Structures are given as C-alpha cells and as structure tokens.
Amino acid sequence: MARARYTIGIDFGTESARAVLVDVSDGRELGVELYTYRNGVINEHLPAPNDDIVLGSEWALQDPSDYLETFRETIPPLLRRTGVEPSDVIGIGIDFTACTMLPTTLDGTPLCFLDAFRREPHAWVKLWKHHAAQPEADRINAVARQRGEPWLERYGGRISSEWFFSKALQILDEAPEVFRAAGRLIEAADWVVWQLTGVEMRNNCTAGYKAMWSKSDGFPPDAFFASLDPRLEHVIDEKMSRRIAFIGERAGGLGAPAAELTGLREGTAVAVANVDAHVSVPASTVTEPGTMVAIMGTSICHMVLGDRTAAVEGMCGVVEDGIIPGLFGFEAGQSAVGDIFAWFVENGVPAEYHERARRRGGDIHQVLAEEAARLRPGESGLLALDWWNGNRSILVDTDLAGMLIGMTLATTAPEIYRALIEATAFGTRLIIDTFEAAGVAVDRIVTCGGLPEKNRLFMQIYADVTGRPLRIAASAQTPALGSAMFAAVAAGPDAGGHASIQDAARSMAGLRDEAFLPNAACRTVYDDLYGEYVRLHDLFGRGGDPAMKTLRRIRREALESATSVPG
C-alpha cells in the first residue's frame, strides 16, 4: 500500500479561519484548527491605538495581519496534533470570502501596514460585507447600461456594491492619495496566496464573479473605466493584472518565509486561490450540470453548473470555468436565511420557548422546529416574503424588506417560525424556476453549510417546496475540504495528488446517507402557497405596489430629520 498523502485546506471566513488536514485518498479529515481573527470585523472604529478613527455606518474592514496569523496559528498545531510529517503534506489550498480586497504596494505590502496610511480606513482590507460603496455601484451600473456593456448580462443586469470595482472606485472617490499609493489592488484571496508563494497570481474565480472578467473577453475595456473616472482608465494594467490563473492550477511552491511560518516544506504545491462558496461545490460531490449546491447558513448561495452560458434573471453571475474547469458556473443567492431565523429567535420568540429549551438543555431552534413540525402545510394561514435583508436573487434590490401576512389572535411563535422557513424555501424555489426557465437544469439539490445538519424540518420543507430530493454533504467543513481538494489537484498525480477536480471529488467528497424526499401531499399545498408567494413577490418586488420603497423613503426622512435636530 502506497504511503498516505495529505493536503491542507484553509477557509478564510468572516470572523475566523478554519484549517483542515485531509487524506488525499479518501477525504478523511484528520484534524481541524480554528483561528478567530484578533481584530475580527472592523466596523465601528480602527483597532487601537487608532481607535479614535470612527468608521461610517456601512463599513466593514479587516486586518491583513489576521490572515498571516491564521497560518501561524493553525498549521503548526495541525501537524503536531495529527502527527503527520510535513513531507507527507503535498499541497495547500485556500478559499476566501469575496469580494474582500485591499490596496498594497508593488511588493504586496498592505498600505495599512505603512505608518503613513495606518490611520486611513481606505488603506485597510474592505470585507465582502462592506456596503459603503453603493453610490459607486450605482455609477458603474449606470455607465455600463449607457454604454451597452455586453458583460452586464452575465451578472443578471446589475453589479453589486460588494464587488471589486465598486470598492476600488470608492477608494478613488474618497481617498485619492490611497488610490495613487496603491501599486496593487488585489483580492485578499490572491494576496494570501502571494504571501505563501512569493509570487502574485490572480484567480479566475474572483476575477470572473467579482471583477467582470471573462475567459473570452477579459476585463471591460479601458474606455469603460475611463468613463467612470479618467484616473481609472488604466487600472487593470497599472494596479491589477491581465494574467489570470485558473482554479485547480498550481499557483507556485511554498516560499521559504511561509515554510518557516507554517512548518511545511519549501516548494509544497500551493493552489490558485478560490472562493468559499465555489470550492464547496466539488466538496459536495458536484462536478456536473443538473445538481444545485445550496450553501445554507446566515444566507444561501445557490451554485449550478451548465454546459453553456445562459442569461438568468437576477443571478449573481455566470463564469466559464468559474467553479469547475470546462463548465459554466452559475451563482445566485438569498441575502438572509439563517439570519432571519436568528433575528426571529432574538426578537420575536416569547420566554416560554426559551425556557423550554433551557430545561431540556437544548437549542431554541429545536424547540420551535418541533412545534412547527406538528403543523400541516398551510395550516397556520401565514405567508411571508423573506426580504429581511433585501433580495439578492432574482430581484437584486437591497431596499426591499420583509413581510408577514395572515396573522390572527391565535397565531403562535412556532407558526411564524415555520412561515419564515417556508418563505426562504419559496425564495429558493423561485431561483430554481428562474434557472430552469433560462435552460439551466436543476434536478436535485445537495446542501452544505451550517443549517442543514441542525434543522431537519428546514430540510423537509425545502424538499416539499422545491419538489427536489435534498442531500447533505458529508463534510461539516466543505469549504476547507474543497480547498484541500484543489490543493491535491495543484500537487498533481505525480506527487500523490489528483489529475482533476473531478477525480478529487470522486475520491475525497461524499454525501450523508440520509435523503429528504418531497412528500406529494405537502407539495400540492405548497404549490398553492407558492402561487401566492410569487404573486406577492412580483407585486411588492417589481413595482406593482410601492409600499416597501415608500416606507424606506419615509424611514430615511425620519432619520434625517432626527439627525438635523440641534443638540
């Protein structure tokens, strides 16, 4: 029997990073290490000693030191605790939140590491959920529409304030000296790979999904950037790169400083950077069209593969080779799912249910789900629109808000809890229907993320509402596993790794045995309710009734009049 070979995958999340050490032959996870970022999400003021610098309300920054610290804090203990020899670790791969980006010098030093820029918020990492660049996103969309930019269709007709050029343009607008000083503007994903290998190498996944790049057309033309701002005209050639590496490729070998930091051997294969949601697709066994991967947590990312491109209303993006080489990767999403349930548990559930959970030593969600599971579909008379954090797909409108209809004096908290779950399931079904209407098949669903394993009711409702069988990925940390799989591909078969991500998926990824199958009787009732959901969705979401926009306007005016009161 051949000597066992291992790879390490590191998933850089929002509050923490997670590293997993995996057996390349069967995907067995020998060990996991978590590192919680010291400076976490920076959204009120810069870290001490610069904590007198206060941030705006929609800001969210990170400290690149936390990424470097992740390597130091996770890989040496992982080797020590598993007893695996560094020589048996054939590759390392990372995935990251996106778009999370930063300005650096030409040699890759983050501007926020420099004394001159330490107190300048725009010199720090802009985290994916930094939402202060909406005016810039609006400008990009307006100019792109005006110029008839063909790439706009690949992003469902609108790009987000979270994306690369919205954030880059905000730096230029608000801190032109930071923009000028930035030799590079780069995704954090690519920056950490650069720190590992010593070589700047950008990945096609973030370039495609967040920076409007495509394999066939490259980036938007310079003339487009010039129309946004003359100083932006040559941003690609001056501060980025037209050389894009593909996921699954080897970015380089581990450099001496990184080898010292991690305890791994110099030259160990480092995979091209990837994105958390995207890397979860093969980690959930999916490498072919027809199966949706739903990454279910605070929000849901919906990932589907297709043989050809398609214009899907309100999707986040379609990128050739963006998820699996050789296929088109489609992404859509719901901006709040677990977040809605968490909001409800925090703000809308009376003490008796919390008390019951405490007495049983259980979780409040379990108590609510148990009660809610006793209800038949439709029995509560409730229906919700799941827009507590706006609507990402298919309406792409952050100004939309939640709605609940059908309450009586007999309505209970578990009934509302179930209606909220159902609403998010209807949202997913509408995304599936929109994919299928555009010719992208979704025959079954594989789920991963935090929610599926916690909440069986949630899973059954999704099966009943969508009419598709649901499975759960075997790994509890699909992103880190996915990164370890891409690391095995980057190492290649000669080093004991895999020839392709498909091969890696066959060997290293798996599903849990249990399946959630649609119940025909429930599905009939849900078809009925879904009809109501779609009508109300279109009524409030497509401008038929202006209530949500008007309430948002009145709210904004009320807050402005409040802040304008003297004293």
- Of positions 15, 52, 107, 346, contacts its own copies by CB under 8 A: 346
> CA-to-CA distance for 71 and 93, rounded, in angstroms?
12
Would you count residue 349 as binding its own copies (CB under 8 A)? yes
**Using an 8 Å Cβ cutoff, are 61 and 55 in contact?**
yes
Could you say whether residue 218 binds its own copies (CB under 8 A)? no
Q: Which of 148, 347, 361, 566 binds its own copies (CB under 8 A)?
A: 347
| 390 phi, psi to nearest 5 deg | 75, -170
Minimal CA–CA distance to 215: which of 317, 287, 322?
322
Binding to its own copies by residue 562, rule CB under 8 A?
yes
The torsion region of residue 69 among left (phi > 0), alpha (psi -120 to 50) and beta comes to: alpha
* Residue placing its CB nearer to its own copies in the complex, 52 or 346: 346
Contact 240, 187 (CB under 8 A): no
Residue among 54 and 551 whose Cβ is closer to its own copies: 551
Cα–Cα dist 70/264, whole Å? 14
User: Which positions from 501 to 530 touch its own copies by CB under 8 A, shown as an x/- string?
Assistant: --------------------x---x--xx-
Q: Which of 45, 354, 356, 444 binds its own copies (CB under 8 A)?
A: 354
Does residue 128 belong to the site contacting its own copies (CB under 8 A)?
no
Q: Of 249, 126, 138, 157, nearest to 199 (Cα)? A: 249
* Contact positions with its own copies (CB under 8 A) in 242-261: none
Q: Are 457 and 498 in contact (CB under 8 A)?
A: no
Alpha-carbon distance 375 to 460, whole Å?
A: 13
Closest CB 42 distance from its own copies, rounded Å: 20
| Pattern 310-339, its own copies, x by CB under 8 A | --------------------------x--x
User: Judged by CB under 8 A, which stretch of 176-184, 193-201, 283-291, 400-408 contacts its own copies?
Assistant: 400-408
8 A C-beta contact, residue 168 and residue 101: yes
Least Å distance between CB 406 and its own copies? Answer: 5
Residue count at the site for its own copies (CB under 8 A)? 56
Q: Which of 401, 430, 472, 490 binds its own copies (CB under 8 A)?
A: 401
Burial annotation 195-225 (CB, 10 A radius, 16+ → b, else e): bbbeebbbbbbbbbbbbbbbeeeebbeeebb
Provide, rounded to whole angstroms, the least separation between the CB of residue 529 and its own copies: 6
Shortest distance (Å) from residue 34 CB to its own copies: 25
- Compute the least distance from the CB of residue 224 to its own copies, in Å: 34
Q: What phi and psi, each to the nearest 5 degrees, are found at residue 214? A: -140, 155
CB of residue 479 to its own copies, shortest distance in Å? 23
Check binding of 74 to its own copies (CB under 8 A).
no
Supply the DSSP string of 438-458, one letter for each residue.
Answer: TT--EEEEEEESHHHHH-HHH
Give the range of 49-57, 120-128, 229-237, 548-556 binding its own copies by CB under 8 A: 548-556
> Per rule CB under 8 A, is residue 54 in the interface with its own copies?
no
The alpha carbon of 198 is separated from its chain's Cα centroid by a whole number of angstroms, namely 26
CA distances from 354 to 260, 338, 346, 367, 407 (A): 49, 18, 10, 8, 22
Closest CA to 479 of 449, 446, 441: 449
> According to the binding rule CB under 8 A, does residue 389 interact with its own copies?
yes
Q: Closest Cα to residue 60, out of 196, 188, 206, 231?
A: 188
Site for its own copies in 404-443 (CB under 8 A): 404-409, 411-413, 416
Region near its own copies per CB under 8 A, out of 59-67, 85-93, 340-348, 462-470? 340-348
Binding residue for its own copies, selected from 376, 494, 513, 567, defined by CB under 8 A:
376
Q: Which span sits near its own copies by CB under 8 A: 21-29, 103-111, 427-435, 542-550?
A: 542-550
- The residues that touch its own copies, with contacts defined as CB under 8 A, are 336, 339-340, 343, 346-351, 354, 376-383, 388-389, 401-409, 411-413, 416, 521, 525, 528-529, 532, 535-536, 539-540, 545, 547-548, 550-552, 554-555, 557-559, 561-562
